[in-house]
Amino acid sequence: MEALECPHCGSALRKGVAVCGECGKELNDTEQAETASPEEKGGRKNIYAILSVFLAVVGGAALMIYIGLLPNPVKGGSTAAIVNGERISAEEVDRKLEIFKKMNAQGSKVDFSSPEGKAALADMRMQIVQALVQEKILVTEAAREKITVPPHEIADKIASVKKGLNLSDQDFEAFLKNHAMSLAAFEKRIEKDLLISRLIAKGTQEKGLTKDAWISQLTARAKVEILAK
């Protein structure tokens, strides 16, 4: 195998990696194209398909609002980011990453010890931070706009989820356990999603903006700091 080096720190790299394991910096598209074999590219696509499912299941609708406007974080440290003065902990990022790995272990053949798997996990860590930053921007903006969700709407939404998945109360408890979530955490997840949905509706209906334009506007005026190691 041809020896490759990180252009940022000079550490040795394996073919196909997207992020240096030593300095945490992402390779650009040209560097990735030069180092990735056809097999590795195909394997990475399969892994990213699984990551998309993870974002939908674990993060809820809010984590799917990812528009790529924020800088990539560097792995490590006790605080991953600060948004409008509010902290996002590295522990929260790690916790979500561990949930993904646990879910993936249930029947998936993805090997996270492989170069493709390690690159996918590094990418996932960065995507989680960026998604949490985006979510924090939208939730804090919803609070500023005095948008609220009454408890009965959260309960109705959970009932709808259970009905849609055809889950009994016992099945629902098992569902939460398998996804490493408490009922309180799931309720908070639902509340955030409803808050964000209402905030987006406010921008599109009252302000006449597209969803992307509204989110871009909110992101542009937010004070965001991605913290290095």
Tens digit of each residue's pLDDT (9 = 90 or more) over 189-204:
999 999 999 999 988 9
- CB environment 99-123: b (16+ within 10 A), e (fewer): bbbebbeeeeebebeebbbbbbbbb
The confidence score (pLDDT) of residue 52 equals 46
Instruction: Say what the alpha-carbon torsion angle 71, 72, 75, 80 is, to the nearest 10 degrees.
Output: 40
Helix (H) or strand (E) holding 4: strand 4-5
DSSP state, residue 215: H
CA 180 to CA 18: how far, in whole Å?
A: 29
The confidence score (pLDDT) of residue 80 equals 87
The confidence score (pLDDT) of residue 73 equals 40
pLDDT top residue among 87 and 14: 87
CA 118 to CA 11: how far, in whole Å?
A: 15
The confidence score (pLDDT) of residue 94 equals 86
**Torsion sign across C-alpha atoms 47, 48, 50, 51:** positive
Joined together, the tokens standing for residue 43 give 């394997």
pLDDT, one tens digit per residue, over 27-45 is 544 444 444 455 444 444 4
pLDDT, one tens digit per residue, over 62-119 is 444 433 333 344 334 588 889 988 888 888 888 888 877 777 766 666 777 788 888 8
pLDDT band at 11 (very low <50, low <70, confident <90, very high): low
pLDDT, one tens digit per residue, over 110-168 is 777 788 888 888 888 888 888 899 999 999 999 999 999 999 999 999 999 888 888 89
Instruction: Please say whether the beta carbons of 147 and 198 come within 8 A.
Output: yes
The confidence score (pLDDT) of residue 191 equals 94
The confidence score (pLDDT) of residue 7 equals 61
The confidence score (pLDDT) of residue 141 equals 92
Give the helix, strand, coil percentages of the chain, each rounded to 5. Answer: 60, 10, 30
Beta strands in 17-85 (DSSP E): 79-83
Instruction: Please say whether the beta carbons of 51 and 37 come within 8 A.
Output: no
pLDDT top residue among 53 and 210: 210
**Torsion sign across C-alpha atoms 221, 143, 88, 92:** negative
What domains can be seen in the chain, in order of their start residue? 37-226 (1.10.4030.10)
Q: Could you give the 3-state DSSP secondary structure of residue 123?
A: helix
Q: Is the pLDDT of residue 12 over 60?
A: no
- CB environment 74-96: b (16+ within 10 A), e (fewer): bbeeeebbbbeeeebebeebeeb
Q: Would you tell me the crossing angle of helices 90-104 and 38-59 to the nearest 10 degrees?
A: 110
pLDDT band at 229 (very low <50, low <70, confident <90, very high): very low
pLDDT band at 176 (very low <50, low <70, confident <90, very high): confident
Q: Is the pLDDT of residue 10 over 70?
A: no
